[in-house]
Amino acid sequence: MARNRPSTQVIFVHCAATKRHQDVGITTIDGWHRDRGIFSPRGPSGYHLVIRRSGVVELGRDLPSLGAHVLGYNDESIGICLVGGINRDMEPEDNFEPAQKVSLEAWLRALLLVYPDALIAPHYAVSTKACPSFDVWAWQRETFGHDDELRFLKWNAERER
């Protein structure tokens, strides 16, 4: 039986690590995750939301359910994945369409209404990966007028004690 998250402390921003011309969606990402043994009856993929190149948002796992997107943090976080994030040489690249960033902003604002104490963080804050291939906190400052970097670092340091 699938479990719900006991709390939502963080909304992690990810990328699919796909090239600019690739417009994959939740079905493809779910296949990648199933190939790695990530499956839940609560919805496809380990992410809660996937933002396609057009800005269309596809639902993955039910929002209250445990995700499978950041090892060690899934029981307290939501995962949003933007399609894109690498160049032809398989290196990180901020190749996201403006419509994707508009959708990301809209969904983050909506999620913060439901989870007002949640922090926004990039996957790279807790991983050696460059994911999501752009400076989430700089984007958050520009878009929201503030960022959660210091609050996240403090929260994460306290969490690891």
Active site residues: 14, 47, 123, 129, 131
Any idea what DSSP says for residue 140? Answer: H
Residue 96 has which token pair?
A: 């996201």
Compute the CA torsion angle 115, 118, 120, 124 (nearest 10 deg): -120
50 beta partners? 58, 81
140 beta partners? none
Amino acid at 65: S
Q: Considering only CA atoms, which of 55, 73, 76, 80 is closest in space to residue 9?
A: 76
